[in-house]
Chains A and B, each alone.
Chain A
Amino acid sequence: MNLQIRIVDGPVPPMDLWDVPGAGAIISFAGNVRPTEHDQPIHGLEYEAYQPMAQRQIEIIARELIESHKLLGMRIEHSVGWVPVGQCSFRLEIAGRHRAEALSAMAEFIDRLKRDVPIWKNSK
Chain B
Amino acid sequence: MRLSIKLFGPDRRAVGLGELPVEVRRLPITCAELRKRIAEVEPRLAKSLGHARIAVNCDFAAEDALIQPGDELAIIANVCGG
Contact = CB atoms under 8 A, between A and B. Distances in A.
B55 A117 contact: no
Contacts of A47: 81
Given A56-B59, A118-B8, A119-B80, 15 more contacts: A31-B82, A47-B81, A48-B12, A50-B6, A50-B55, A50-B58, A52-B58, A53-B55, A53-B58, A54-B81, A114-B81, A116-B79, A117-B81, A119-B82, A120-B79
Instruction: Label chain B's interface by main secondary structure.
Output: mixed
A23 B59 CA distance: 32
Contacts of B10: 120
B16 to A, nearest CB: 14
Interface string A47-79: 111101110110000000000000000000010
A121 B81 CA distance: 7
Interface size class of B (residues with CB under 8 A): 10 to 19
Contact of B79 (A31, A56, A110, A119): A119
B68 interface: no
B31 interface: no
Interface of B: 6, 8-10, 12-13, 55, 58-60, 74, 76, 78-82
A119 B59 CA distance: 14
A115 B82 contact: no
6 contacts: A53-B76, A78-B81, A114-B82, A118-B76, A120-B78, A120-B79
A70 B9 CA distance: 35
Given A50-B55, A53-B74, A114 B79 contact: yes
Interface of A: 31, 47-50, 52-54, 56-57, 78, 89-90, 110, 113-122
A44 to B, nearest CB: 15
B59 A114 contact: no
A119 B74 contact: no
B79 A117 contact: yes
